A and B are shown apart, each in its own frame.
Chain A
Amino acid sequence: MTERRCTDPVILNQWHPLHPADQMEATRVTRTILLEEPLCHALDANGAPLVWPSAGSAPRLDGSQPSPLPARLAYGFLWACLGTPPDDLFPFPETAEPDRRNLATGTFGVHVSAGRAIENFLDMGHFPFVHTGILGEEPHTEVKEYDVEIASTRDEVLATRCRFYQPKAAASSTSGAEVEYIYRVPHINCAILYKSSPNDLERRDAIALFVQPVGPEQVIAHTFMSVLDNDSSDTGIRLFQQTIFGQDKPILENQFPRRLPLAPRAETPIRADKSSIAYRRWLSSKGLTYGVIPAVAE
């Protein structure tokens, strides 16, 4: 097998997001970095994805790419794997519902580990302080009791019965409301949240964070939405999501250590952190070592 800079099989053998599919043009080559490996990617003339290690020279799409990597298009993004990928990416069935709008809502570089980025995404406690006037506001700061489990149907972290008062829960919101959330962590570096839709009482909008690990303490965060909203423009939805992410960014970049500590007593959790405790335990059980500070066996 090819030598990789990252040697952790847990993360090497995953599908990783690389680029929003709607920003790829046939035969245009783009460079990126995954797990410290410089890569090139492109769509060939038939629209099929192609990902290969960049040799450092000017990247060309001439049919002679060295050792292409496993690659696929799914959920609005190009995904690739540096090791042996699982047969399937996690399920995200809402994206196939015909009346939803699926939209890549912004891609940003962030100086943080993937685990810290996912953990922040799972946290409701910061809403009133970081997303003031949008996803929360004082004095509505309580994180009410919620449930966390490893899903029975699939190996993923699931948090349910999450409720939070939000002044402007979505681009299409016109007033504040108590919003119900479900969080899924179906992949070590990907999380999806489902929240009550302002436009459909029976169904939920889905917002996803797909994290591309560039290095152990550097990521590219890809955001994605699958929403029930016929009114807002694509740009309006994207700008709303960018405002939210722009507010999270300095919080993420000021976390120390930047790697996610997995030892149970490394940081002191409170009750509101139940989902983060479950997430760290889940990562630990997989034996992940890249981008984290592993728990030392006692």
Chain B
Amino acid sequence: MIRLYDYELSGNCYKIRLLCGFLGLAYTSVPIEFHPGRAHKGADFLRINPLGQLPVIDDDGFVLRDAQAILTYLAARYDPARTWYPVSDARLLGEVGQWLAFADSITATASAARLHDSFFHDLDVDAARAGAHRLFRILDAHLWFAEQEGRIWLCPAPQPTIADIACFPYVILSEEGGIFLQDYPAIRRWCDRVKRIPGFVPMPGVFPAGPGLPPPLTAGSV
């Protein structure tokens, strides 16, 4: 079975737990105590990942680090429908890759602010918050224009992709770093849609959404 080196309060580890939830993929969680134990910087874990970062998976001896890399591997290997990582559509795949990189920028800003406020990491929190707001404005505008075209996910596909999973955790957890989402209505609607994907799992700090309204009837849908 897949082993996930995991820390429950980590948004990057949560990305992997989310994808496993959506795919119905079983895994064993191996807790690595990031805080306060700093076990991810300990000798035992550095042998697994010399970067000292979570998450890491071990899939039957194949060891892979980096949340975005793990998402691509698991989706390419275990999603029989090929929608989460759409390898057969070059443009769509390119857009997925673009938002995976964007997710890393969210980690460098919104997640950094959360690490500062909740876990006392020593960094420039004002710069981190300003950087997150700049990214969230771009994300909110992108999602708003997508909605105008009848699309509800980050990439132009009828189904969500791993891009949605990669961007979701540190957006939804951003308020823990003093970055509030009230000015980003399209982001908040998208977060609720992610929470309603079948198989969604919460984490501490992330609550499930209500069932939501039934979709409006439109011409041709009856």
Contact = CB atoms under 8 A, between A and B. Distances in A.
Interface string A207-238: 00000000000001000000000000001101
Interface in B76-106: none
A106 interface: yes
A109 B204 CA distance: 15
Contacts of B119: 108-109
B8 A235 contact: no
Contacts of A135: none
A246 B8 contact: yes
- Give the interface SS of chain B, mostly helix, strand, loop or mixed: loop
B8 A243 contact: yes
A239 B36 CA distance: 10
Contacts of A20: 36
Chain B interface residue number, banded: 20 to 34
Contacts of B175: 250, 253-254
B147 interface: no
Contact of B204 (A23, A238, A247, A253): A247
A235 B33 contact: yes
B35 interface: yes
B31 interface: yes
Contacts of A247: 204-205
A246 B204 contact: yes
Given A107-B36, A235-B37, A253 B8 contact: no
Given A242-B8, A243-B8, A109 B117 contact: yes
A265 to B, nearest CB: 28
Contacts of B192: none
B36 A235 contact: no
B205 A111 contact: no
A249 B204 contact: yes
A110 B118 contact: yes
A239 B8 contact: yes
Interface string A5-21: 00000000000000010
A243 B204 contact: yes
Interface of A: 20, 23, 104, 106-111, 220, 235-236, 238-239, 242-247, 249-250, 253-254
28 contacts: A20-B36, A104-B36, A106-B35, A106-B36, A108-B118, A109-B117, A109-B119, A110-B118, A111-B117, A235-B31, A235-B37, A236-B31, A238-B37, A242-B8, A242-B9, A242-B204, A243-B204, A245-B204, A246-B8, A246-B9, A246-B204, A249-B118, A249-B204, A250-B175, A250-B205, A253-B175, A253-B176, A254-B175
